[in-house]
Amino acid sequence: MRELIIKPDPNNENLSASVEGIDHEGNVITTNVVTEKALTLYLNSQEVVTMMTIGDFPDLLAIGFLLNQNMLHDDDEITSIDYDDDINVVVVRTKQQTNYEDKMKKKIRTSGCAQGTTFGDLIDSLDHFSFEDTAKIKTSWLKELGKKINNVPSLYLSAGAIHGCVLCEENRPLVYMEDVGRHNAVDKIAGYMYQNNVDQKSKIFYTTGRLTSEMVIKTVKMGIPILVSRSGFTAWGVELAKQAGLTLIGRARGQRFIALSGYDRIVFDSDDNDFEEDAKHQRKASRNRK
């Protein structure tokens, strides 16, 4: 497997802290917990939002947020990105004027963790969006992606209370971001794609979180045709995915999954024996939990 371009850093002391407590037997223990920092984002001279985040990649988070909220476009020229870690402020400056005021009038609070927001006209834009039909996802890739992503050392494994999102191509995880809000992890990947001119047409987006309307909108906005999650769906998320022609795959565990939109992109290339092997592992894991 090609090495991940960006991966979680559970050893980064700025992203977690040791806290003392007691366990279920009253024993004194020390455990890791993730950090939360308030990051205030400015677009030119206007304050846009204050986000709760673990604090890594503030530049990518800022760019991705603005792109996914339609406040920044692919053809906008960014002249500078300045981050002050003393006051936790990031300022994105563009060459041209922005339509900040119009966007703020359409602000909607979403179901995302840590104060996720989106804007009303993004939903309207799905009516005019369409994906190319060339993208595919093989069922064998799904199983391989799950294994590879689960084996990456992460803050989730060391501290919990965090969401992960991974940009993938075929069976290869490429960029793995974590944050206290899944929408922040998405936005950091969007910022990476923008800064590195990533071709999104052949990509797969993998998330540990729920497949909500916000997740669907952000994935469509990034131009990625396939969205996969270990978790489940919301009805509005499914409706918007069908509206945009997005392939929506949830409850992905091993070879098993449920697809509720865009089934034509799925290539069933797995052996029946793989399913039986998965079932054995799941039954064994279930017995061990009892």
In a domain, 9, yes or no: no
In a domain, 18, yes or no: no
User: What CATH number should be reported for the domain holding residue 280?
Assistant: 3.40.140.10
Q: pLDDT tens per residue, the chain (290 residues)?
A: 457 999 999 999 999 999 999 999 999 999 999 999 999 999 998 999 999 999 999 999 999 999 998 888 888 899 999 999 999 999 999 998 776 656 565 554 444 444 444 555 666 667 667 787 789 999 999 999 999 999 999 999 999 889 999 999 999 999 999 999 999 999 999 999 999 999 999 999 999 999 999 999 999 999 999 999 999 999 999 999 999 999 999 999 988 999 999 999 999 998 756 545 554 544 444 444 34
In a domain, 76, yes or no: no
In a domain, 169, yes or no: yes
In a domain, 79, yes or no: no
In sequence order, what are the residues at sequence separation of 6 or more whose Cβ sits closer than 8 angstroms to the Cβ of residue 117?
A: 49, 69, 107, 108, 109, 110
In a domain, 232, yes or no: yes
Q: Measure Cα distances from 108 to 43, 45, 116, 243 in Å.
A: 19, 22, 9, 20
Q: What is the pTM of this model?
A: 0.86
In a domain, 61, yes or no: no
In a domain, 113, yes or no: no
Q: Which domain holds residue 180?
A: 137-289
Residues written for the chain: 290
Number of domains in the chain: 1
Gyration radius of the chain over CA positions: 20
Q: What are phi and psi of 153, to 5 degrees?
A: -55, 130
